[in-house]
Chains A and B, each alone.
Chain A
Amino acid sequence: DTEVTQTPKHLVMGMTNKKSLKCEQHMGHRAMYWYKQKAKKPPELMFVYSYEKLSINESVPSRFSPECPNSSLLNLHLHALQPEDSALYLCASSQEIRDWGYTFGSGTRLTVV
């Protein structure tokens, strides 16, 4: 298995909803990442987990809450989002936090209404 799987592929949520994005990989990678990509923009790093511990939080608002329950799973919990949070959320993994060859998932297209 050489993939990063993200679910759901599309999500529409209201500003008062609570939802979660899920990411899974079975490549034995020990570093996992969340990126946010707005339309026609490059991906921007949100969070980095290394060995299931939060390593980097790029000053992301607290309405985004990451969780790494085990080495294969990465969640992003969403609460009280704003319409400007609508974007493609990409998960990625790599063998080690300094390694090349990040593998990206196909993303979750999030729309906040």
Chain B
Amino acid sequence: GEDVEQSLFLSVREGDSSVINCTYTDSSSTYLYWYKQEPGAGLQLLTYIFSNMDMKQDQRLTVLLNKKDKHLSLRIADTQTGDSAIYFCAESMLNSGAGSYQLTFGKGTKLSVIP
């Protein structure tokens, strides 16, 4: 996780927007992802963005990519209590030794939604 940085905590009120930020290091990453993990559960792919895109919107989720600054953000509109979870940013990085790509995760941002 040391190559992908995220703030560890975010607290918002129900109905407000949440913005979770991430910085990454590998400029050759082709895809960047956001995963959601609820307590005791596995990882759920929320959304992804291809590196030649600046923005992607999917219902309440908006992903912004600033490739120059290697900055990725996830905005959740109208945040609900069910959105409380840990959100992981991940990049697809080349493992040159294996000749293949693998996911590298950030440390995760714990989102707490206050009713």
Interface residues of chain A, those whose CB is within 8 Å of chain B, are 4, 6, 40-43, 45, 48, 50, 55-56, 90, 92, 97-98, 100-107, 109
Contact = CB atoms under 8 A, between A and B. Distances in A.
B41 A106 contact: yes
A41 B1 contact: yes
A102 B105 contact: no
Contacts of A103: 45
B42 A107 contact: yes
Contact of B88 (A42, A92, A100, A105): A42
A102 B103 contact: yes
A8 to B, nearest CB: 14
Interface residues of B, number: 24
A86 B6 CA distance: 25
Interface stretch (B10-18, B66-74, B75-83, B93-101): B93-101
B95 A109 contact: no
A3 B105 CA distance: 21
Contacts of A45: 102-103
A110 to B, nearest CB: 13
B27 interface: no
Closest 5 CB pairs of A and B: A42-B105, A106-B42, A104-B43, A42-B1, A100-B31
Nearest to B4: A42
A104 B33 contact: no
| Residue from B35, B43, B92, B107 with most neighbouring chain A CB atoms (10 Å) | B43
21 contacts: A41-B1, A42-B88, A42-B108, A43-B88, A43-B103, A48-B98, A48-B102, A55-B98, A56-B102, A92-B43, A97-B101, A98-B100, A100-B31, A100-B48, A100-B92, A101-B45, A102-B33, A102-B45, A104-B35, A104-B43, A109-B40
